[in-house]
Structure 1
Amino acid sequence: MATGSPPGNDKRACGDQFERRAEQYLLGRGLRLEARNYLCRLGEIDLIMRQGDTLVFVEVRYRKNSRFGGAAASVTAAKQQRLRRAASCYLQMKGLNEARQSCRFDLVACEGDLIHWIPNAF
Structure 2
Amino acid sequence: MIAASRARNAPNSYKIGVAAETRAKLLLEAKSYRILAERYKTKGGEIDLVAQRGDHLAFVEVKCRRTQEEAAYAVLPRQQARIATAAEVFLGEHAGLSHESASFDVILVSPTQGLSHIEQAFLA
Aligned length: 114
Q: Provide structure 2 residue ranges, at least 5 long, that are not aligned to the other structure.
A: 1-6
| Residue of structure 2 aligned with 1:9, choices 11, 14, 34 | 11
8 A contact 1:70–1:111 mirrored in 2: no
What TM-score, normalized by structure 2, do the two folds share? 0.84
- 1:56-97: CA deviations, max 9, x gaps? 10000000225xx41111101111100000000101111259
Q: Which residues in structure 2 correspond to 1:1-122 (within 5 Å)?
A: 8-65=10-67, 69-95=69-95, 101-113=100-112, 114-122=114-122
Q: Which has the higher helix share?
A: 2
What TM-score, normalized by structure 1, do the two folds share? 0.85
What's the offset of the Cα at 1:102?
1.8
Percent identity between the two aligned chains: 31
Structure 1 runs of 4+ aligned residues shifted over 6 Å read none
Q: Provide structure 1 residue ranges, at least 5 long, that are not aligned to the other structure.
A: none
Whichever residue aligns with residue 70 of structure 1, its letter is: E
- 1:28-76: CA deviations, max 9, x gaps? 011111010000000110000001101110000000225xx41111101
Q: CA RMSD in A?
A: 1.9
Looking at structure 2, the residues matched to 58 and 65 of structure 1 have their Cα atoms a distance apart, in angstroms, of: 19
